[in-house]
A and B are shown apart, each in its own frame.
Chain A
């Protein structure tokens, strides 16, 4: 009986798809509209960025030179490609330092987020359904509140005479207020804080499906709790760990708001460099070159993240 339903369901699925497949005109509209939108506003912009990264900065509106120029009378077309921006990126250690420091900050904060997020996700996944709903809502609530305002909240907390310093002094850990705001430590706190839900949610999704009998079996066979954890739980949770880490790591590399509000003037992150090139120096070609290289650096993790998401869709 069961077999029959499964088979008929499968046939039904094909039938539904076949039925929809016959209506070619409707299909073209449904696929075409989002396709054209994304081509125009997601894909082509990258081509434009690459094109402008090859032009020269100029005092004009818009502030860059044209790549192509043609002389109508002589029918003479010229293509002027300027690799200067990319060469400058390599020459000036400022940019290389910014890339490396962004990758370092992103990597370290991803690990911290994982360490804090894992026990939380585990506890939520293992608790009884009613409590689970409540705890999940507790994780989702900050996710829905303004990111900017949550970063701003830390500015007040971490001030020299703010509550964090007060508490640390009153319990006698420090004698005089520490400078936390406008340092890298504040940046780490801000990043871990704002990206924590992005880590917890994918972890929760895998841990919720974790079969308890596997953990019991491991314990029956003499595994100590920490052995069970590292030999059974962690490998089974790997898809969630990878997804969570990518969801944190990739956007953090290009983060601008957190270093701008919580970091010091010496906190070097590439998102901030790009923003400054664009708005302070008004050097759009240089900003484009910085963006192009950032995209090249991130292409592998982005593809990985995409595949993760793709796989998830297929297995469910």
Chain B
């Protein structure tokens, strides 16, 4: 028993080192004064200054943030509807089809999703003149389609785990479906909606392949700029950008864990 846990601990530790080594190296190199990655030239913040002075990266970042914001919000609306339909509305025609369509984007390779949406947009434009050209809007539609799947799965699992007695009580007290949903169900699934929105936002911000297919000329998102720079080799500004992104995510995850722990404590207290 003792020996097994020793083996387990070592292999898990190696696993975690494997997960974190590349991220730590990005952070360290972002402070490297030397432009050559292999040479350590002392600590410096110059790549951060260059990052913020790089208009191409900054405007692409703004575009990506806008797209991610709209796509995440749209996918929350659609994903909550789909999750609600699949857990709270019993049987209806097309339920199997809807649950198939909603979960398939989770595993669909990006190249297929990207190509198929591009060809759809081109065909629609030829037939109806909409969407005229490709750009931010086509990227938003594409991102919403795959992000809503993630939101739906999160909302669905929250709704299945949730006790229905509160909703029943509201119903017994005479709440109409509309009131019931907005005053009872929605507040109860709020944590799932928030994490769904954040996940959708991150996924949209990170997507390279689908956006490259459906973006028109002159609409480069941040991952597209990063990819074109990185293909040519290691770029110190990108290290600085990566460090900032890792920092934001780390703060977010720590805050979420803290919030979860606090809520757990609150839930335990009344019983004690």
Binding site for B on A (CB under 8 A): 9, 12-13, 15-21, 23, 26-27, 30-31, 33-35, 37-46, 48-49, 52, 62, 116-117, 119-120, 122-124, 126, 133-134, 137-142, 144-150, 152-157, 159, 161-163, 193, 196, 225, 246-247, 250-251, 253-257, 260-261, 271, 274-275, 278, 284, 287-288, 291, 294-295, 298, 301-302, 305-306, 309-310, 313, 316
Task: Report Cα–Cα, A52/B123, bound state, in Å.
Answer: 10
Given contacts A21-B90, A148-B226, A313-B156, contact A9 B165 (CB under 8 A): yes
Interface of B is mostly: helix
Provide the bound-state CA to CA distance between A129 and B116, in Å. 44
A246 proximity list for chain B (CB < 8 A) = 107
Is B38 engaged at the interface, CB distance under 8 Å to the other chain? Answer: yes
Q: For residue B113, which residues in chain A have a CB less than 8 angstroms away from its CB?
A: 45
B100 partner residues in chain A, CB cutoff 8 A: 306
B104 within 8 A of A: yes
Contact of A153 among B22, B82, B92, B160 (CB under 8 A): B22
Q: What is the bound-complex CA distance between A37 and B109, given in angstroms?
A: 20
| Bound CA span A152–B141, Å | 27
- Distance in Å: Cβ of A25 to nearest Cβ of chain B: 10
Interface presence of B58 (CB below 8 A) = no
Q: Mark B99-132, 1 if CB is under 8 A from A, else 0.
A: 1111111111111110111011011001000000
* Assembly CA distance A150 to B26 (angstroms): 9
Judged by a CB distance under 8 angstroms, whether B78 is at the interface is yes
Contact A156 B109 (CB under 8 A): no
Output the residue of B12, B20, B85, B88 with the most chain A CB within 10 A: B12
In the bound complex, residues from chain B placing their C-beta under 8 Å from that of A122 are: 8, 12
Asked whether B116 lies within 8 Å of A45 as measured between CB atoms, the reply is: yes
- B94 pairs with A31, CB closer than 8 A: yes
Which residue of B79, B120, B205, B234 is within 8 Å of A41 (Cβ)? B120
Give every chain A residue within 8 A of B161 (Cβ-Cβ): 316
In the complex the two chains form, what is the Cα distance from A15 to B15 in whole Å? 49
Assembly CA distance A225 to B106 (angstroms): 37
Is B23 a contact of A142 with CB atoms below 8 Å? yes
B173: Cβ under 8 A from any A Cβ: no
Cβ contact within 8 Å between A256 and B209: yes
Complex alpha-carbon distance, A310 and B98, angstroms:
12
Does B189 count as interface, using CB distance less than 8 angstroms?
no
* B190 contacts the other chain (CB 8 A): no
Asked if B101 and A157 sit within 8 Å, CB to CB, the answer is: no
Interface status of B246 (Cβ within 8 A of chain A)? yes
A153 to B117, CA, bound (A): 30
Known pairs A140-B253, A152-B230 / 12 extra A-B pairs, C-beta < 8 Å: A12-B164, A17-B88, A26-B178, A33-B81, A38-B145, A41-B117, A117-B15, A120-B12, A146-B223, A152-B26, A161-B38, A257-B227
- Report how far A284 CA is from B269 CA in the complex, Å: 62
- Per-residue CB contact flags for chain B residues 128-144 toward chain A (1 = under 8 Å, else 0) read 00000000000001101
A residues less than 8 Å from B44 (CB atoms) = none
Contact A150 B22 (CB under 8 A): yes
Q: Is B157 an interface residue (CB 8 A)?
A: yes
- Does residue B29 face the partner (Cβ distance < 8 Å to A)? yes
B9 to chain A, nearest CB (A): 7
Contact partner of B160 (CB less than 8 A), chosen from A15, A41, A298, A316, is: A316
Main secondary structure of the interface of A (DSSP, over half): helix
Contact B18–A193 (Cβ < 8 Å): yes
Closest Cβ of chain B: how far from A125's Cβ, in Å? Answer: 11
B84 near A30 with CB under 8 A, answer yes
Which of B15, B78, B105, B234 meets A155, CB within 8 Å? B234
Q: Which residues of A contact B8 (CB under 8 A)?
A: 119, 122-123, 126
Known contacts A16-B168, A119-B12, A196-B19: A261-B103 contact under CB 8 Å: no
Measured in the bound complex, the distance between the Cα atoms of B21 and A108 in whole Å is 23
Known: A45-B120, A120-B16. A144 touches B107 (CB 8 A): no
Contact indicator A152/B226 (Cβ below 8 Å): yes
5 smallest CB-CB distances across A and B, nearest first, come from: A254-B109, A45-B116, A153-B22, A34-B82, A17-B90
Please give the distance in Å from B48's CB to the nearest CB on chain A: 15
CB-nearest residue of chain A to B241: A149
CB of A153 within 8 A of CB of B242, answer yes
Interface centre among B7, B18, B101, B117 (most CB of A within 10 A): B101
Asked if A20 and B78 make an inter-chain contact with CB atoms under 8 angstroms apart, the answer reads no
| Docked-complex contact A133 and B23, CB < 8 angstroms | no
The answer to whether the Cβ of B257 comes within 8 Å of any Cβ in the partner chain is: yes
Chain A hits for B115, CB < 8 A: 49, 274, 278, 287-288, 291
Residue from B25, B29, B141 having most chain A Cβ neighbours under 10 A: B25
Complex-state Cα separation, A264 to B75, whole angstroms: 37
Give A154 to B242 CA distance when docked, in angstroms. Answer: 13
Closest chain B CB from A165 CB (angstroms): 10
Interface centre among A33, A225, A284, A309 (most CB of B within 10 A): A309
Other-chain contact of B92, A27, A149, A278, A316 (Cβ < 8 Å): A27
